Amino acid sequence: MPRTSGEVGGGIRVNHRPHVVIIMADQLREDVLSPEITPHISRLFSESFRFRRAYCASPLCVPARGSFFTGRYPNETGCVINPWTLAEKGHGLVASGIPNLYQHLEENWDSRHVGKQHFLTVDAIDRLANSPTKWRNSEEEYGPFLREHGRRAPGGERFRGIVPEMAFGTTTRLKKYSIPATGCYEEGIDYFFDGYILNTAVEAIRDRDRSRPLLLNAMFLAPHPPLDIPEPWYSKFRRKEIVLPENVGRWSAKQSPLQLYNLTGAIGSRYTREDWGEIWKTYLGLVSLLDDCVGRLVEELKRQAMYDDTLIVFTSDHGEMLGSHGLWQKMCMYEEATRVPLGIKFPREDRSRYGDRGSDEPVSAIDVFPTLCDYLGAPIPEGVSGKSLMPVVNGSSRSEPRNVYIQFDGNGARGNFQRCLVQGCDKLIVDWFKDEIFLELYDLSNDPMEQENLIFEVGRRELAARLLVDLTAHMERTGDLLRLPTNLYDSFINQYGPFYSNK
C-alpha cells in the first residue's frame, strides 16, 4: 500500500491521490507485443509490473468489460452476451446496483470516459443526467463527426460476410459479421475511429478539473476489425517479414469440432495459412497504429507534467484468434482469444519497488478493480469476486495455484456455450453446442499453442475429473444458467473415444 498520512471514510487517501489512466485495446493478441511492433507499449511495460498470464473473464466485448469494471464474473453481473437482440437484451446488461469502477471513484476523482462504450448496465449509468463521470461515447459521436466532414467510415459490406448464429439454443439464423478482408482507409488517421478517440482523450486530459486527480478510461477500438486502416500503417509491414505462429491456419487433430458451429470456425476455416499471412500484415499495422496512439497519450501526460504522478493500466478486453486453430475473431477458450496484456505502471514514488517486474501467475481481468481499490486506499465493494493483486506485486506467492474461470455464452444471443478453467499450467475447456459437449485438456507448460488435447489419455483422467469438479462448483457458486451433466467425463469418453483416442 502506498505511504499515506491521512485517510477519509473507507480509507481513501486524502493527502495525495494519483491520477489513474486505464488504456484498453479491443481484440489485441498478447503475443504480438514486442519492441519492434509496439515500441511505445513496450516502453510503458518496461516501467510497469507486468502480469504475463492474465486472462479475460469472457472472450466477448460487452461481458468482458462488464466483468472488468465490476470485478465479478459474467454469471454474477448478469451480462453474458452482447445485447444486440431485444429478445435477449436482459442477458447483456450488468444488473442494477452492482458497484463499478466509474461510480466507485468518481466522487474523489475527475472521472472521464472516452472511446468505445461497451460497459452496458441496466441502470444506464452513462445516460444519467447527473452523472459525475463525463461520458464521451465515441461510437455515437463518430458518425456525426464523419458526416460533418464528408468522410466515410472504415469498413463496409466488403468487410462483412454471412454466417450462422445459434439463437436461444433452438434456432439458427443468418447474421452478417466481420470477415478478415483488408483494405486501405484513404481518409487518414484523423478520421479513423482510433484517431478520433485519441484526440478526444487528449482533450479530456487538457480540459480536466485540476482541483482533483484525473480518472481517465480511454477505450480504443484497435485492433478490432474492420481491417480497413490508414497509411502509413497499412503498408508498414511486408508479408515476408512476418513469421506466423505454427498453429495459424491449422486445425489440430483433437480440437473441438463444435467450433465449426460457432462463427469462429464458420469464418476462420475458409482461409488458408497463406491467406492468413496477408491478414496478419494488416492486423499488425493496426496494432502499430494503436501503439502510436498510446505513445501520443503518454506524451500528453508528460507534457502536462502528470506522467510521474499517474497510475496507468494497459490491457485489452480479450484477444484475437487471427487464424490460430483455423479460427477467426474471439468467442473461444484458446490462449490467443483469452490471454490479454496487462501491465500496471505505478506513480514514481512506488515505481522503484514495482516497476520493471512481473509475474507468471495466472490472474483474471476481474482482479484489476479490487487491485486499484487496494492501491488507492478505496474500500473494495462487497460481492467482488476478483482478488487484489497487490500481494503479488509485493512479491507474495500463493501456496496453491489460483483457479481462473472464463465463460462464453454466445454472441448476440445465448446459443454457443463454453466454459474454461485454468489452474496453474493445466487448462480444461468445455465446448457446448445444443446437446453435444466436447472436452479439451491442455498442458500449457509443454504445449503453449494447445495442439495436443490430452483429454483421452488414461493418465490424465484423475486431473480432468478434478478440474471438472472445480468448474462445476464455480458454476453453481456464481449462479450459472447452465448445469454440467453428471458423469460428463465418462459419457464423453464413451461417445468420442472411438473416434479420437487413436488420432
Ordered per-residue pLDDT tens for the chain, 503 residues:
333 333 333 344 445 799 999 999 999 999 999 999 999 999 999 999 999 999 999 999 999 999 999 999 999 999 999 998 777 889 999 999 999 999 999 999 999 999 999 999 999 999 998 999 999 988 889 999 999 999 999 999 999 999 988 888 888 889 899 999 999 999 999 999 999 999 999 999 999 999 999 999 999 999 999 999 999 999 999 998 999 999 999 999 999 999 999 999 999 999 999 999 999 999 999 999 999 999 999 999 999 999 999 999 999 999 999 999 999 999 999 999 999 999 999 999 898 888 778 999 999 999 999 999 999 999 999 999 999 999 999 987 665 678 999 999 999 889 899 999 999 999 999 999 999 999 999 999 999 999 999 999 999 999 999 999 999 999 999 999 999 999 999 999 999 999 997 65
The residues pairing with 171 across neighbouring beta strands, listed in sequence order, are: 167
Distance CA 136, CA 151 (A): 20
Q: Is 489 part of a structural domain of the chain?
A: no
Q: How many domains does the chain have?
A: 1
Q: Is 431 part of a structural domain of the chain?
A: no
What pLDDT, on the 0 to 100 scale, is given for residue 170? 86
Q: Is 471 part of a structural domain of the chain?
A: no
Query: What single string gives the DSSP state of each residue in 382-413?
Result: TT--S--SHHHHTT---SSPPEEEEEE--SSS
68 neighbors 365 (Cβ within 8 angstroms) = yes
Q: Is 215 helix (H, G, I), strand (E, B) or coil?
A: strand
What pLDDT, on the 0 to 100 scale, is given for residue 1? 33
Distance CA 58, CA 251 (A): 23
Collect all residues with Cβ–Cβ distance below 8 Å to 32 and sequence separation of at least 6: 38, 283, 284, 287
Collect all residues with Cβ–Cβ distance below 8 Å to 113 and sequence separation of at least 6: 102, 126, 133, 134, 135, 136, 137, 217, 219
What pLDDT, on the 0 to 100 scale, is given for residue 165? 87
Q: Is 421 part of a structural domain of the chain?
A: no
Q: Is 97 part of a structural domain of the chain?
A: yes
What pLDDT, on the 0 to 100 scale, is given for residue 33? 97
Q: Is 417 part of a structural domain of the chain?
A: no
Domain of residue 188, residue span: 15-403
- In angstroms, what is the C-alpha Rg of the chain? 22
Q: Is 246 part of a structural domain of the chain?
A: yes
The CATH number that applies at residue 236 is 3.40.720.10
Residue appearing with cell numbers 453474458: 80
Nearest to 179 by CA among 153, 160, 155: 160
Cis status of the peptide bond prior to 379, with omega within 30 of 0? no
Distance CA 330, CA 57 (A): 13
pTM of the model: 0.95
Residue appearing with cell numbers 513496450: 42
Nearest to 316 by CA among 56, 35, 38: 56
- What is the total residue count of the chain? 503
Collect all residues with Cβ–Cβ distance below 8 Å to 119 and sequence separation of at least 6: 62, 65, 66, 68, 69, 94, 100, 102, 126
Q: Is 458 part of a structural domain of the chain?
A: no
Distance CA 371, CA 362 (A): 15
